[in-house]
Amino acid sequence: MTMEVNRTYPVNGPKAWYQRWWAVQPVRSTVIFALSLAIGLVVWQLISIKYGVYFFPSPSETWIAFKELAQDGSLATSTIDSARRILVGWGLGLVVGIPIGLVMGRFGFVRQLLDPYIEFFRFVPPISFVTLAIIWFGVGEASKVVLIFYTSVFIVTISTIAGVLAVDPLKVRAAASLGAGPLRTMFLVIIPASIPEIVTGARLAMGNSFLTIVSAEIVAAQHGLGALIWKSRNYGRTEWVFVGIITLGILGFLFDRIIRVAVRRGLARYVNHG
Amino acid sequence: MSALQAVSASSGAAGHSIEFRNVSIRFNSFDAVSGVSLRIQPGEFVCLIGPSGCGKSTLLSAAAGFLGTRGDAPGAVEGEVLVNGERVRGPDISRGVVFQSSEALFPWRTVRENVAFGPRIRGVRGGELRDLIDYYIALVGLDHAADRFPSQLSGGMRQRVQLARVLANQPRVILMDEPLGALDAQTRSVMQREIERLWQETQCTMVFVTHDLDEAIKLGDRVVTMTAGPGAGIKSIYDIKLERPRDETTPAAIELHRALRDDVAEEVLKTLRSQRR
C-alpha cells in the first residue's frame, strides 16, 4: 500500500508562485504583449536619440504631440471622420460585393461576363483614382467614401465567389431533393455555406480600407487621420505624423477585433464547423 | 400522441415503382451507362453492385433527377426513367437521397434543424413540425443528440441524420449511394439492420448502391450486378429468397456470395485487361 506513495514524482510537487501565474493563459499573453511593447519603445527611443525630433521624434515627443492634438479636439474629430468614411465605404462594399459575388459564383455566364472587369480593376490601386474621384464626386465626403468602396468591393466579391464555388455540390443536390428551389437553395445553402469566405473577404477589405483612407484624404479633406498626416507635413511636425500613424494602427486593430468578436458571437455556427 | 400516430400512418404509404427503359447516359465522349432496362417493384429493396466506375451512382442520379433531361447536354439521360409511371424531370421530395459523404449535411444546422429542412419547406410549422421532427429523430435513434451539430457526431450518427432528414419528407423512394461506405465494420453492421428496419416500417422502395457483397445479400430483395464501364449495363439479377433478418454466415448466403463475387471479379478483370491494352 505504501508503494503508491513512493511513486509520486517531484514534478507534481508544489510550484513557485511565478510558475503558477505563468500557467494562466491570459496572464502569460498579457506579459508577452507588455514585453513586446517595451522592446518596441526602447528601439524607437534609441533610433530617435540618434536622429532628432524633426527626422524621428521620440516616444515622449510623440506623446506630447498626442496630448496636444487630443486637447484641441482635432485628434478626436479626425479619428471619427476617418472611421465614418471607412465604415460607410466598407459597408457599401459589402452590400454591393456580396450579392454580386453570390450571383457570379452561382451563374457561370454572369461570372464570365464580369470577370474581365474584376480582374482588371483589382490591380488598379485606389490612389490612381483620387483625381477622378474628386472630378466626379466633388471635394466632399462622397469622393472619399467612393474610394473606400472601390478598395473594398473587389476583394469582397472575389472572396464571395470563392465561397460559392467551394460549396460541396452534394449539399445543393441534397437540398434540391429535399424540396428547395433555386431561391431557397441560395438562401438556405449557398449563403450559409459561403459565410467563412465572406467573412475573410470582409476582413481583408477592412485592411484595404485603412490602406486607402490616407490617399483618399490627400486632397481637400479638413479632418481625418489622412488629412492630419498630410497637413502635418506643411507645418514640419513629424511627431503629428507619428500620432496619426499610431492612431490608424490602433483603430485598424480595434475594427478587426470588433469584426472577429461579432463573427464569433453572431455567426459561430457558420464559421466553426468542420 | 395522436399527432405521432398521424405521422406514422402517413409514412406508411406504399413505395413507388421505378422503371429504367433503355437508359443511356453520356458525359461528353464518355459512355457511363448504355442501354439499361430495369423495373423495380413498389416497396422493393434493390441493391446495385459492380466494379468502381461502372455507372451505379450515375444510374441512381438519373432516378434522383440530378441529371439533365435535354438530349444534347453532357450527362443527359437518353431513354426513359419512370417513377410511379411518371417521367423523372428533376429532383422531388418523393425521392429521398442518402449520400455516402456527410458533406451532404448542413454543418451549420443542428440535427433537429437538418431534419426540419424538408418539412419547413413543405410548410409544416409549429407543434406539428416539432412532433414530426421528434418522431423521425427518435426513429433513427438520435433523441439524445438532437441539438448537436454534425461535427459533434460520429460517422454512423451522421448517416442516421441523413436518413432522418430524408424520412421526414415521407418519401416513396429512397435512393442510397453507398451510404455505409465510409463506416467501420461494426457500425456498418448495425446500420444495415437499421436500414432494413426503416424500410420495413416506411415501406419505401429502396435502391441501394454498394461495393459490399454481404451488405447486398443482407439487404436486397434483388441484387443487380453491373458490367464494367465504359458503356456499363446490367450483367445479372439475383433474387435473394433468404428469410429476414438475414445471416451472411449461413451456407445459402455464402453460396450467393461466391456467385456474386465471381460475377463482379469477372468485370473487374475485364477493366484491368482493357487498361493494360
pLDDT of A13 above 80: no
B12-32 pLDDT, tens digit each:
468 999 999 999 988 877 888
Min Cα distance A181 → chain B (Å) is: 9
Question: Is A179–B64 a contact, with Cβ atoms under 8 angstroms apart?
Answer: no
B113, closest residue in chain A (CA to CA):
A188
pLDDT of A76 above 80: yes
Q: How many CB pairs under 8 A join A and B?
A: 73
Q: Show me where the domains of chain B are located.
A: 2-276
With CA atoms as reference, report the closest residue to A216 among A117, A86, A90, A92: A86
The band of B162, judged by pLDDT with boundaries at 50, 70 and 90, is very high
- In chain B, pLDDT over 70 holds for what percent of residues? 92
Range of weakest confidence among A108-112, A117-121, B49-53, B107-111: B49-53
B122, closest residue in chain A (CA to CA):
A179
**CB crowding A70-101: b at 16 or more within 10 Å, else e:** eeeebbeebbebbbebbeebbebbbeebbebb
pLDDT at A138: 87
Q: Which of B104, B121, B165 sits opposite A184 (nearest CB)?
A: B121
CA angle A98, A99, A104 (to 5 degrees): 100
The band of B9, judged by pLDDT with boundaries at 50, 70 and 90, is very low
Chain A residues closer than 8 Å to B150 by CB: 273
Q: Which of A173, A175, A192 sits opposite B108 (nearest CB)?
A: A192
Chain B residues closer than 8 Å to A167 by CB: none
pLDDT at A66: 94
Give me the half-sphere count of Cα atoms (radius 13 Å) on the Cβ side of residue A99. 5
Q: Which of B95, B118, B151 sits opposite A274 (nearest CB)?
A: B151
Mean pLDDT in residue range A47-51: 89
Q: What is the DSSP letter of A16?
A: -
pLDDT at B208: 96
A170, closest residue in chain B (CA to CA):
B104
Q: Are strands B18-27 and B205-210 parallel, antiparallel or unpaired?
A: unpaired
Mean pLDDT in residue range A202-225: 88
pLDDT of A41 above 60: yes
Question: Is B108–A174 a contact, with Cβ atoms under 8 angstroms apart?
Answer: no
Chain A residues closer than 8 Å to B101 by CB: 168, 170
Q: Which of A170, A175, A270 sits opposite B108 (nearest CB)?
A: A270
pLDDT at B5: 46
Q: Are strands B205-210 and B173-177 parallel, antiparallel or unpaired?
A: parallel
pLDDT of A14 above 70: yes
For chain A, the 3-state helix, strand and coil shares in percent, each to the nearest 5, are 80, 0, 20
pLDDT at A1: 46
The whole-angstrom distance between residue B166's C-alpha and the CA centroid of its chain comes to: 11
CB A142 within 8 A of CB A150: no
Mean pLDDT in residue range B166-173: 95
pLDDT of A210 above 50: yes
pLDDT at B2: 41
Mean pLDDT in residue range B261-275: 86
A1 and chain B: CB distance < 8 Å anywhere? no
The segment with the largest mean pLDDT, out of B12-16, B22-26, B38-42, B228-232, is: B38-42
Range of weakest confidence among A21-25, A188-192, A229-233: A21-25
Chain A residues closer than 8 Å to B66 by CB: 173, 176-177
User: Exposed/middle/buried for B222, CB within 10 Å: 0-12, 13-18, 19+?
Assistant: middle
pLDDT at A176: 96
Q: Which domains can be identified in chain A, with CATH numbers?
A: 2-46 (no CATH), 71-271 (1.10.3720.10)
Give the 3-state DSSP-derived string for A171-217, with helices as H, strands as E and coil as C: HHHHHHHCCCCHHHHHHHHHHHHHHHHHHHHHHHHHHHHHHHHHHHC
Q: Which three cell numbers stand for residue A80?
A: 471619427
A274 and chain B: CB distance < 8 Å anywhere? yes
Question: Is B104–A270 a contact, with Cβ atoms under 8 angstroms apart?
Answer: no
Distance CA A146, CA A215 (A): 12
Q: Which three cell numbers stand for residue B99?
A: 449520400
Tell which of B58, B117, B124, B163 to mutate to test the A interface (max A CBs under 10 Å): B117
| B2-276, CATH topology level | Rossmann fold (3.40.50)
Q: Which residues pair with B232 in a beta bridge?
A: B33
pLDDT of A103 above 90: yes
pLDDT at B150: 96
Chain B residues closer than 8 Å to A196 by CB: none
Question: Is A174–B151 a contact, with Cβ atoms under 8 angstroms apart?
Answer: no
Chain A residues closer than 8 Å to B173 by CB: none
Chain A residues closer than 8 Å to B105 by CB: 171, 174
For residues A85 and B9, the model is more confident at: A85
Contact residues, A window 166-225, toward B, CB-based 8 Å cutoff: 168, 170-171, 173-180, 184, 188-189, 192-193, 195
Min Cα distance A178 → chain B (Å) is: 5
Q: What is the DSSP letter of B14?
A: P
A34 and chain B: CB distance < 8 Å anywhere? no
B27 in helix, strand or coil?
strand
